[in-house]
Structure 1
């Protein structure tokens, strides 16, 4: 079920709010109602894999209970490996088979398994909890609380990736406690803002760029189209930031504060700054569960610690690319970002300080250039886009840039959405409430007139 659909906005969400309100006075019903709603949400979007999600929750929780009973860390290690193996089977098996076939020419047949919705995200939630439990940082928890941590519908499909310590204790708390109105209003602001980002900006750019990338997959682009395609990172930003803001807003409606995922990343002045602002919850996961263990491992002599440090940085970003998808274009995208982050770190340590404007421009160009590789689907299609940049667009086609220029300027000049939302809801504002009502009406009309676009990160 898509957040930007009539089925969700006009049916599921109102019903969910009413049911949660009815259950709120009864502590024993609060979490079961949210679990039921979350499973219904997931089952609507991916019915065949609902049992897989339930089995995943049950199996990992049982592993945690066994560890608590026998104190054998190998139990949790095996559970983590099983989670990664399941993710690898569904997401990377055909990629591995195809590359193995290229190497030895054996004629292996692809498995062609459907990708379970949200598997990359709920796998990482399992890993965060089990790893921290193994390290003695996480407590043993009840099945209902753990199930809600994994399946909570605002974040289950595409994040934000929330650590158990950030959300688990919020589950089961009273939603309509004194002061709930301000939190509820803030949630509505996030939801409407996220829908504007997705529908009015992201989807409109997508309708312009999708045919261009379809052409790039088959051959060279007409004059000028490549300059439009180069701004695909702006579309990805509005699509995913919009999703994240809707998820955060939905969490607030149900009494849960999810972590922020974006902090005006297109305003970043260097690549390290960019990755502290873009998909922040994924980078926090990679930093704490991938990068730091590699840095702290005694692989090289102490005198070569810098080599190990920067190698870990590069490997982390390569894995970040591979996490996004099973193709060499994603690996290349991650590698390029890894190189950019390493170069940035070395420059900040040994090079002269760059003017902020120049640093922003270089960062922005790297993000735009690598975004083409991210979106193109193949290195060949990306090359067709880059070839097209050699010719300037005809002047008469410049008007086509407006749907991209205006959102780009907004992304570069405006503060992060959470800062905007905080300012707008600082005190009661009748005018803002009226504007939100008008915006909702406009969004519903727009949804009725256009095809509904799936969120990009649903594919990952």
Structure 2
């Protein structure tokens, strides 16, 4: 139902709503935003009416609160807690909705549609409106801010302060055809990323997870490595694809949404990775969690100023990572893993701070290389635990990688392997644990799947990201190639071809909701 709703909107309602939107803008600019607010409400109701009722009640409660001028810290804390309560109840499984009306594809927990992103935006509204320099929204603005059909499914997160600045310019912003062309191109590019990169990887990882649940067998080294790498890559390309589409839709409606990704797998440290992955969420954590905690803990009674500030930094970073794990995690075990990862990442960052003061260049380079390696290992292992049916399966997959019993390869490589008499290799297929029927149901055969994975890894580490390609933002990470989109007939033709091929794969598309 979710995938159907997205397809229905993107390919039928979106062009129609765009025509209505610009018709209203030509008549009266002030009619455009109420139309978007109404459209967002209808979209949420059609996708998940139970979520709509829950969020509507919270929106009305919050709107009344943020409009009031005199608010105590205690009352502000109470309202923040009330907005967090539904998310906590659904995350812990104390409350659950009918699986046919709730969607959280990619996680093992059912959440009301958009609740995770909605909650963070409402918290930003409660905090920001308590500051004298922030203006109040009208009811229509607040409804669109809360129910925005562009960002509610998978982000990016638009804080109250960012939104009010956007709305202030919204009624006076002229129609820019270059931004509309850019937006449509981003939507097509995001759809292609999901269909041609995330979907083929997801098909095989899901087949492996299903087989592991139904059968008792050990995956080969090749299969285990594919599952571990594929788990994080399908999440990255699914999430970044929807972020591209959301930012593109924002451009089409005259809204500038924050960038969400900057090639995170190119990062050389945990801090760089976290600041490049889900950037709007990390900006929220930095503003509303890290900074207040750092300012609070830097006053701890420690004589040495450097030690005091380093301690405050470590505490703030740990709790920022911990709360990030809690927000993303569907179970208690994942939260425990989040604590372990948070401790590890803080230790790595402290190691980098120490090595930065070390005069010997060799040690500095070694620590940077070690930091990058540990960061990638942590990312891929965390992604594995995020998607596998159970922790036991994840541990078994890791054992298969570290101490493999078999390395599976295609039969085409058998002559080369047999020449060296290597009994460790299985020459039947890259994926011998899957039967022929399962392999036939996948979009790509095993050999093509391995080549596809190698190509995707090349894209991740050596190609520029979509925000860089479309000149939305510049990347802090280097790329081997430089590709730049332009509003020309050549790029229009390329985008048209990509769109046609992407639509042809829509029958295989699954819904994706992050958080």
Shorter chain as denominator, the TM-score bin is 0.7 to 0.9
**Cα separation, 2, equivalents of 1:173 and 1:20:** 16
**Cα separation, 1, equivalents of 2:453 and 2:259:** 25
Q: In the superposition, relative to structure 1, how do residues 345 and 58 fare at CA in structure 2: closer, same or farther (>3 Å)?
A: same
Counterpart in 2 of 1:395?
409
Residue 318, structure 1, aligned to residue 322, structure 2: yes
**The one of 394, 403, 410 aligned to 1:382:** 394
User: Contact 1:236–1:456 at 8 Å: present in 2 too?
Assistant: no
User: Contact 1:269–1:359 at 8 Å: present in 2 too?
Assistant: yes
User: Contact 1:175–1:255 at 8 Å: present in 2 too?
Assistant: no
Counterpart in 2 of 1:23?
24
Q: In the superposition, relative to structure 1, how do residues 170 and 207 fare at CA in structure 2: closer, same or farther (>3 Å)?
A: same
User: Contact 1:167–1:256 at 8 Å: present in 2 too?
Assistant: no
Q: In the superposition, relative to structure 1, how do residues 332 and 373 fare at CA in structure 2: closer, same or farther (>3 Å)?
A: farther
Q: In the superposition, relative to structure 1, how do residues 206 and 90 fare at CA in structure 2: closer, same or farther (>3 Å)?
A: same
**Cα separation, 2, equivalents of 1:183 and 1:412:** 28
Counterpart in 2 of 1:40?
42
Return the TM-score normalized by structure 1. Answer: 0.88
How far is the alpha carbon of 1:176 from its aligned partner?
10
**The one of 309, 313, 330 aligned to 1:309:** 313
Offset from partner CA, 1:173-221 (integer Å, 9 cap, x none): 5689556111011111211111111111011100011121233456553
How far is the alpha carbon of 1:29 from its aligned partner?
1.3
Counterpart in 2 of 1:107?
none
**Cα separation, 1, equivalents of 2:513 and 2:340:** 21
- Any idea what SS the aligned residue of 1:297 has? helix
- The within-5 A match list for 1:414-429 is 414-422=463-471, 427-429=486-488
**Cα separation, 2, equivalents of 1:174 and 1:288:** 25
Residue 288, structure 1, aligned to residue 290, structure 2: no
Counterpart in 1 of 2:332?
328
Richer in helix (by share): 1
Q: In the superposition, relative to structure 1, how do residues 319 and 377 fare at CA in structure 2: closer, same or farther (>3 Å)?
A: farther
Q: In the superposition, relative to structure 1, how do residues 276 and 57 fare at CA in structure 2: closer, same or farther (>3 Å)?
A: same
Counterpart in 2 of 1:347?
351
- Any idea what SS the aligned residue of 1:10 has? helix
User: Contact 1:189–1:436 at 8 Å: present in 2 too?
Assistant: yes
Counterpart in 2 of 1:222?
219
Counterpart in 2 of 1:454?
511
How far is the alpha carbon of 1:415 from its aligned partner?
1.6
**Cα separation, 2, equivalents of 1:3 and 1:316:** 36
How far is the alpha carbon of 1:52 from its aligned partner?
1.6
User: Contact 2:29–2:171 at 8 Å: present in 1 too?
Assistant: no
C-alpha root-mean-square deviation of aligned residues, in Å?
2.7
Counterpart in 2 of 1:100?
none
How far is the alpha carbon of 1:38 from its aligned partner?
0.6
Offset from partner CA, 1:258-313 (integer Å, 9 cap, x none): 00000011111111111111111111111221222222224842346333431332
How far is the alpha carbon of 1:441 from its aligned partner?
0.8
Of 419-428 and 230-239, deviating more is 419-428
Q: In the superposition, relative to structure 1, how do residues 233 and 184 fare at CA in structure 2: closer, same or farther (>3 Å)?
A: same
- Any idea what SS the aligned residue of 1:34 has? helix
Aligned length in residues: 439
User: Contact 2:290–2:316 at 8 Å: present in 1 too?
Assistant: yes
User: Contact 1:265–1:278 at 8 Å: present in 2 too?
Assistant: yes
Counterpart in 2 of 1:109?
none
**Cα separation, 1, equivalents of 2:335 and 2:74:** 31
User: Contact 2:156–2:259 at 8 Å: present in 1 too?
Assistant: yes
- The within-5 A match list for 1:362-373 is 362-373=374-385
Of 316-325 and 128-137, deviating more is 128-137
- Any idea what SS the aligned residue of 1:276 has? helix
Counterpart in 2 of 1:108?
none
User: Contact 2:485–2:491 at 8 Å: present in 1 too?
Assistant: no
